[in-house]
């Protein structure tokens, strides 16, 4: 049977998952009466809520007697680790580009990885039905990008398809076709069949799955040889150690699920049950000739946060898993499948340093953990600093912001204040595209400010470039916070009297504790306030003073907004039901003493 292994890569929101939906419906993977809606592969709750792909997925379709294994990859830069490892299973890539936006920072990142692995590209220019789209200009920009990334002569000779995932057609011209069959024909004719070399079994584990019945399942492409059920194999780890194992069950991908198989030939993607203590990057090899494949290399994390147990007065109210042992086990389990994540133990047994690719990468981990029933506290995100040639260096990112022309000056002002440098500025339709180089530290909290300054019109994207010399202090939050004085329930009477002090994050009836952040001060510096004060009741009544309190609605903040908001002396308490910001030191007197100790050293 002929096989094609193809990965779909693109910048976030350029239409990868919608294209996969079209392929599924076109090849009748679903029954006639089975309606799955849109975004079929984004089944995770977080993916549905955020409208992005977070985890890569494998499916297969059959077209004209050829089995096409499709790998849907994430588009956001923070989940680049997912893309880097799953590209090893592919022989070609569909590079999806928005017909209006053109190549974006993440397009460059994923394309560079694909070209380095010598994968054969097909360019798909999507969303040509959008107003102001510019497919010819975008095609030239994609060619320029290939050239900049040192593509080979064969890779530069890529075929291009135009179409609309929403309308369900793709063609080599801008004339709409009936469906996406021209693109499927293109995959069969342009993407090569897997190259199979002679020799004993070799399969590199590039992905993990988990079943409550079968346990951990190893997924990878059979590079050479074949693998069979009940076959004794060797598991070669990254450190060179060799262990014997046995294949208990074998599966191949078929449609949206998996099908039992007795043998999987070279070139196909297999899911193996029965291996124990394996990690991503390990090689499943022949027991007589255990030859390992080159280890998987994933770019290192650029940001870290301190994860600790929840030690607030409300500890243990919501969560099932609250101890440091639970926290440690969960974080170590995450590192097995999340290659871009690293966990280090600290001097305290109750806290761990967790390294990731960015605020969203770490935010998705925290959000997943709280939904599983964990309680924890997390500190302010910090960038990873390195000493290179005796010089202190920090990560820099390429930042691209698309804004209406009248907002461009506000964006330039905000980014340059955070040590960003404007590299390029050009007009794209009725929008202005601004390209900056900025330290990763400058990005923390920038998205909220940009959206506020541009009335929600700014679209920003960024990708890691390199480590460069430290750029000095970056201005952080100007306003102080309002901190609760004592534990109790917030009253409308107290909030009404305090409303001129700032904006509140709590509302009447909520429980607070001493040291919890309940609002933002209108001025610099922190202010301790009593939000629990009740009205003194008397038998005297007055017509004006007894009117109902008019309370401004509280400001609601998402987990990522909280992560970008807090300062070094603050942290976030995360439980299944609540996200609360608080001071690291809850007692007001202790905080004052700490500030006096810290003052001379600054």
Query: Which residue ranges make up the annotated binding site for GTP?
Result: 13-18, 126-129
| Binding positions | 13-18, 126-129
Alpha-carbon gap, residue 243 to 236, rounded angstroms: 7
Alpha-carbon gap, residue 170 to 174, rounded angstroms: 9
CB atoms within 10 A of CB 39: 15
In a 13 Å sphere around the CA of 184, the CA atoms on its Cβ side amount to 25
DSSP H helical ranges for 376-479:
408-417, 440-443, 446-453
Q: First vs last Cα of the chain: how many Å apart?
A: 69
What is the phi/psi pair of residue 310, to 5°? -75, 115
Q: In which residue are the tokens 């292994």 written?
A: 5
- 128 neighbors 164 (Cβ within 8 angstroms): yes
What is the phi/psi pair of residue 138, to 5°? -65, -40
What angle do helix axes 16-26 and 181-190 make, rounded to 10 degrees?
100
Listing DSSP states for 20-63 in one string gives HHHHHHHTT-S-TT----S-TT--SHHHHHHTS--S-EEEEEEE
Closest by Cα among 53, 76, 75, 77 to 463: 77
DSSP label at residue 313: T
Element holding 428 (H helix, E strand): strand 421-428
Element holding 351 (H helix, E strand): strand 351-356
Alpha-carbon gap, residue 73 to 300, rounded angstroms: 19
Q: How far is CA 184 from CA 64, 181, 413, in A?
A: 9, 5, 47
Alpha-carbon gap, residue 273 to 213, rounded angstroms: 11
Q: Quote the Cα angle for 138-139-142, to 5°.
A: 85
- 56 neighbors 207 (Cβ within 8 angstroms): yes
Q: Is 363 helix (H, G, I), strand (E, B) or coil?
A: helix
Listing DSSP states for 535-562 in one string gives PPP-S---TTTTSPP-PPPPPP--HHHH
Question: In 64-214, at which residue ranges do the beta strands (DSSP E only) sit?
Answer: 66-72, 92-98, 120-126, 160-164, 169-171, 202-204, 207-211
Q: How far is CA 367 from CA 112, 208, 373, 559, in A?
A: 30, 20, 10, 8
* CA 490 remoteness from chain centre: 36
CB atoms within 10 A of CB 212: 5
403 beta partners: 432
- 450 neighbors 416 (Cβ within 8 angstroms): no
């Amino acid at each position: 049977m002929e096989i094609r292994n193809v990965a779909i890569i693109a910048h976030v929101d350029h239409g990868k998952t919608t294209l996969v939906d079209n392929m599924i419906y076109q090849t009748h993977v679903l029954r006639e009466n089975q309606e799955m809606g849109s975004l079929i592969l984004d089944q995770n709750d977080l993916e549905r809520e955020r409208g992005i792909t977070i985890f890569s997925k494998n499916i297969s379709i059959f077209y004209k007697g050829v089995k096409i294994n499709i790998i849907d990859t994430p588009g956001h830069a923070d989940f680049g680790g997912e893309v880097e490892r799953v590209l090893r299973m592919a022989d070609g890539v569909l590079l999806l580009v928005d017909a209006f936006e053109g190549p974006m920072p993440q397009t460059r990142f994923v394309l560079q990885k694909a070209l380095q692995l010598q994968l054969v590209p097909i360019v798909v220019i999507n969303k040509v039905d959008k107003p102001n789209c510019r497919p010819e200009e975008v095609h030239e920009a994609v060619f320029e990008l290939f050239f900049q990334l040192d593509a080979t002569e064969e890779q530069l000779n890529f075929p291009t398809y135009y179409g609309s995932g929403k309308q369900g057609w793709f063609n080599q011209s801008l004339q709409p076709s009936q469906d996406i069959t021209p693109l499927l024909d293109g995959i069969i004719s342009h993407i090569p069949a897997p190259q199979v070399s002679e020799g004993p079994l070799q399969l590199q584990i590039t992905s993990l799955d988990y079943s409550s019945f079968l346990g951990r399942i190893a997924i990878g492409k059979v590079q050479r040889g074949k693998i069979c059920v009940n076959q004794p194999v060797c598991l070669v780890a990254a450190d060179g150690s060799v262990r014997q194992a046995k294949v208990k069950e074998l599966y191949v991908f078929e449609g949206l699920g998996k099908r039992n198989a007795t043998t999987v030939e070279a070139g196909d993607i297999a899911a193996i049950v029965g291996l124990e203590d394996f990690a991503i990057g390990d090689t499943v090899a022949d027991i007589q000739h255990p030859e390992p494949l080159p280890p998987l290399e994933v770019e290192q994390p650029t940001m870290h946060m301190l994860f600790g147990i929840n030690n607030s007065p409300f500890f243990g109210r919501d969560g099932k898993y609250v101890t440091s042992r639970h926290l440690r086990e969960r974080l170590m389990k995450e590192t097995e499948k999340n290659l871009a994540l690293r966990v280090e133990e600290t001097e305290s047994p109750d806290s761990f340093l967790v390294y990731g690719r960015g605020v969203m990468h770490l935010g998705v981990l925290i959000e997943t953990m709280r939904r599983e029933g964990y309680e924890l506290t997390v500190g302010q995100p910090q960038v990873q600093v390195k000493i290179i040639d005796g010089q202190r260096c920090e990560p820099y990112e390429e930042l691209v912001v698309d804004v209406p022309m009248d907002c461009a000056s506000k964006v330039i002002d905000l980014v340059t204040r955070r040590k960003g440098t404007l590299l390029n500025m050009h007009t794209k339709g009725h929008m202005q595209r601004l390209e900056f180089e900025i330290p990763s530290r400058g990005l923390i909290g920038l998205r909220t400010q940009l959206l506020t300054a541009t009335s929600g019109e700014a679209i920003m994207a960024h990708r890691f470039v390199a480590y460069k010399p430290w750029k000095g202090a970056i201005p952080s939050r100007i306003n102080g916070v309002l901190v609760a004085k004592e534990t109790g329930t917030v009253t409308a009477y107290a909030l009404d009297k305090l409303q001129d002090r700032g904006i509140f994050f709590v509302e009447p009836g909520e429980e607070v504790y001493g040291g919890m952040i309940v609002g933002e001060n209108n001025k610099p510096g922190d202010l301790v306030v009593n939000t629990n004060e009740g009205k003194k009741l008397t038998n005297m009544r007055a017509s004006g003073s007894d009117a109902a309190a008019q309370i401004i609605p509280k400001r609601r903040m998402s987990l990522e907004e909280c992560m970008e908001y807090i300062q070094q002396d603050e942290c976030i308490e995360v439980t299944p039901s609540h996200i609360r910001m608080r001071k690291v030191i809850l007692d007001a007197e202790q905080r004052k003493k700490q500030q006096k100790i810290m003052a001379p050293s600054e």
